[in-house]
């Protein structure tokens, strides 16, 4: 297994996402959310970030998305840091938040048009991009329907489409399949694999171990703000002797409940 420290950016292939010795502590908390946390997601990887509630996953993807800075440590996205290239990073980064980030009263295409224009896409290019993304998530025939009339699975798919509008090089997905039916989940999985095949780096958080095993080329298990284990799922299972990721996860993070 490799440590993130062993591959700093600039050595070999540029890391898509790189974090070195991150420290983050929220106000009024005893324990740091991230404690000397380091991680590398290589270009073209489908990387799974796993951990129990409160492990620090949300903090990691918030920092990688530029939503908040770490208290200390270094963050790089495609070898750029937020302090110097904030806007450039935002243009190459896509995001599908866990909460549906869409306006219910707008139609599917109006939602995408709004977010697309904020990316600076306009005119025919925008129209084409919207059509393309709606087709990608099998919602083209529902383009003119208000989002409020969508099922949860449709909203999740549209949520993903909104995150793909800028054709991101790095896509951050926060539990994109939570609470949806098998058909929608299957479609999202297939399309994410396709995106990854085309070269998009994906950082994926999930609580579903079978999902991580199916999709991710590498995973990282974190707990209490620290990286506990990382590597390809098959390698981790082989080395640990565990029959599946769920057992490995419980073995590494314990069985006690993580109520906040």
Partner 1 sequence: MLKIITATAKELLLLRRDRAGLLILFLMPAILVVVITLVQENVMELTGQKKTRVVFLDLDQGDLGQILRRQLAKGNLRIEAWDGKQKDMADIREAVQDGDYQVGIVMPQDSSLRFKQEAAQLLQQNNNGETGDKSAGPTLVQVFFDPLLMAGLRAGITAQLQMALATMAMQAKLEALDRVQQEALAALPAGQELLPLARLNLPELVKQPLLSLQENQDFLPSAGTVPHNPVQQNVPAWALFGMFFTAIPIAGALIQERNSGIWVRLRVLPVSPLVLFGGKALAYIVVCLCQFLLIALIGAYLFPYVGLPAFTISMHLPAVLLTVLCSGLAATGYGIFLGLACNSYEQASTVGATTVVTAAAIGGVMVPVYAMPPMMQRLSIISPLNWGLSAFHDLILRGDALPAILDDLGRLLLFFAVTTLLAWKLAGRRHSRF
230 lines the binding site for partner 1 (CB under 8 A): no
Distances (CA, A) of 122 to 95, 113, 164: 20, 8, 15
Query: Closest separation between CB of residue 117 and partner 1, Å?
Result: 4
Using CB under 8 A as the binding rule, whether residue 84 contacts partner 1 is answered as no
Q: What is the DSSP letter of 139?
A: -
Q: Does 73 interact with partner 1 (rule: CB under 8 A)?
A: no
The span from the CA of 225 to the CA of 228, in Å, is: 9
The phi and psi torsions of 204 (rounded to 5 degrees) equal: -125, 125
Runs of H (alpha helix) within the chain: 57-64, 82-92, 108-118, 123-136, 152-163, 182-197, 209-215, 233-240, 245-253
Q: Which of 98, 132, 138, 217 binds partner 1 (CB under 8 A)?
A: 98
C-beta separation of 174 from 61 below 8 A = yes
Contacts of 27 (CB under 8 A, 6+ apart): none
Closest approach, Cβ 166 to partner 1, in A, equals 9
CA distance 107 to 89: 28
Stretch that binds partner 1, among 117-125, 127-135, 189-197, 231-239 (CB under 8 A): 117-125
Q: How far is the CB of 6 from partner 1 (least distance, A)?
A: 28
By CB under 8 A, tell whether 204 contacts partner 1.
no
Site string for partner 1, 139-158 (x = CB under 8 A): -------x------------
Question: Which residue number, 33 or 209, has a Cβ lying nearer to partner 1?
Answer: 33
Q: Is 120 in the site for partner 1 (CB under 8 A)?
A: yes
Interface positions with partner 1 (CB under 8 A): 58-59, 61-62, 65-68, 87, 90-91, 93, 95, 97-103, 105-106, 110, 114-115, 117-120, 122, 146, 159, 162-163, 174
């Amino acid at each position: 297994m490799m440590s993130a420290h062993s591959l700093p950016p600039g050595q070999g292939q540029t890391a898509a996402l790189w974090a070195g010795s991150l420290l983050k502590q929220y106000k009024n908390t005893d324990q740091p959310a991230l404690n000397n946390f380091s991680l590398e997601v290589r270009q073209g990887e489908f990387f799974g970030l796993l951990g129990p509630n409160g492990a620090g996953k949300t903090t990691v993807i918030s920092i990688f998305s530029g939503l908040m800075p770490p208290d200390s440590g270094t963050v790089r996205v495609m070898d750029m840091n937020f302090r110097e290239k904030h806007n450039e990073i935002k243009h190459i980064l896509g995001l599908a938040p866990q909460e549906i980030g869409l306006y219910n009263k707008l139609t599917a295409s109006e939602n995408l048009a709004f977010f697309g224009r904020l990316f600076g896409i306009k005119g025919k290019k925008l129209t084409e991009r919207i059509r393309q993304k709606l087709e990608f998530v099998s919602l083209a025939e529902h383009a003119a329907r208000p989002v409020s009339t969508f099922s949860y699975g449709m909203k999740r798919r549209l949520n993903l489409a909104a995150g793909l509008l800028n054709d991101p090089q790095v896509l951050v997905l926060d539990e994109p399949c939570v609470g949806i039916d098998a058909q929608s989940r299957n479609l999202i999985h297939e399309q994410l694999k396709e995106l990854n095949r085309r070269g998009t780096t994906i950082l994926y958080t999930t609580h579903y171990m079978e999902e991580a095993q199916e999709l991710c080329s590498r995973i990282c298990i974190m707990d209490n703000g620290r990286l506990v284990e990382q590597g390809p799922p098959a390698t981790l299972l082989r080395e640990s002797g565990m029959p599946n990721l769920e057992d490995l996860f419980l073995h590494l993070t314990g069985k006690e409940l993580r109520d906040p």
